[in-house]
Amino acid sequence: MEHLESYSMPGMHVEEGSIPVPLDWEGLDPGDDIGAGPRLRLFYRVLTAPGRIHDDLPLLVFLQGGPGGAGPRPLTPQSDPWIAEALRHFRVVLPDQRGTGRSSAIDGTGFAAIGGPGEQAAYLRRFLAGSIVRDFEHLRRTVFGGRRWLSLGQSYGGFLTLAYLSAFPEGLAACFTTGGIPHVPADASEVYEHTFPRMKAKTQAFYDRYPQDRQRVAAVADILAEGGARLPGGDPLTVERFQTLGSDFGMKPCFERLHWLLDTAFPDGDGSLKTGSTARLSDIFLAGVDRSTASAPLYWPLQEFIYADGECGPIDWAAQRVRDQDPSFSPDGRPLMFTGEAIFPWMFEQERNLRPFRQAVQLLMQEGTWPRIYDPERLAGNEVPLQAAVYYNDMYVDRELQMDTLSRIGSSHAWVTSGYEHDGLHEGGVFSELLAQAMDRGGLDGLL
Say if residue 201 is in the same domain as residue 132.
Answer: no
- What's the DSSP call for residue 249? G
Q: Say if 448 falls within a structural domain.
A: no
Instruction: Please report, for residues 46, 223, 251, 282, 288, the alpha-carbon distance to residue 74 in angstroms, rounded to integers and kept in the order given.
Output: 12, 40, 19, 33, 24
Say if residue 196 is in the same domain as residue 301.
Answer: yes
Tens of pLDDT, residues 367-411? 999 999 999 999 999 999 999 999 999 999 999 999 999 999 999
Tens of pLDDT, residues 64-96? 999 999 999 999 999 999 999 999 999 999 999
Say if residue 130 is in the same domain as residue 195.
Answer: no
Q: Could you give the CA distance from residue 319 to residue 305 in angstroms, rounded to a whole number?
A: 12
Domain that holds residue 330: 188-365
Model confidence pTM above 0.75: yes
Say if residue 226 is in the same domain as residue 323.
Answer: yes
CATH code, domain carrying 102 = 3.40.50.1820
- Report long-range pairs for 84-87 (Cβ below 8 Å, ≥24 apart): 84/11, 85/431, 85/432, 85/435, 86/60, 86/152, 86/431, 87/11, 87/12, 87/47, 87/48, 87/49
Q: Could you give the CA distance from residue 222 to residue 231 in angstroms, rounded to a whole number?
A: 16
Q: Say if 165 falls within a structural domain.
A: yes
Average confidence (pLDDT) over 337-363: 96
Say if residue 171 is in the same domain as residue 285.
Answer: no
- What's the DSSP call for residue 48? E
Tens of pLDDT, residues 312-326? 999 999 999 999 999
Tens of pLDDT, residues 36-55? 999 999 999 999 999 999 99
Q: Could you give the CA distance from residue 268 to residue 51 in angstroms, rounded to a whole number?
A: 56
By CB atoms closer than 10 A (0-12, 13-18, 19+), residue 236 is middle
**Helix locations, 88-187, DSSP H:** 108-112, 117-124, 129-142, 156-167
Number of domains making up the chain: 2
Q: Could you give the CA distance from residue 432 to residue 241 in angstroms, rounded to a whole number?
A: 38
Mean pLDDT of the chain: 96
User: Do the beta carbons of residue 101 and residue 71 sit within 8 Å?
Assistant: yes
User: In this prediction, what percent of the chain has a pLDDT beyond 70?
Assistant: 99
Say if residue 67 is in the same domain as residue 109.
Answer: yes
> Kind of pairing, strands 39-48 and 12-22?
antiparallel
Tens of pLDDT, residues 144-196? 999 999 999 999 999 999 999 999 999 999 999 999 999 999 999 999 999 99
Which residue type, as a one-letter code, is found at position 176? Answer: F
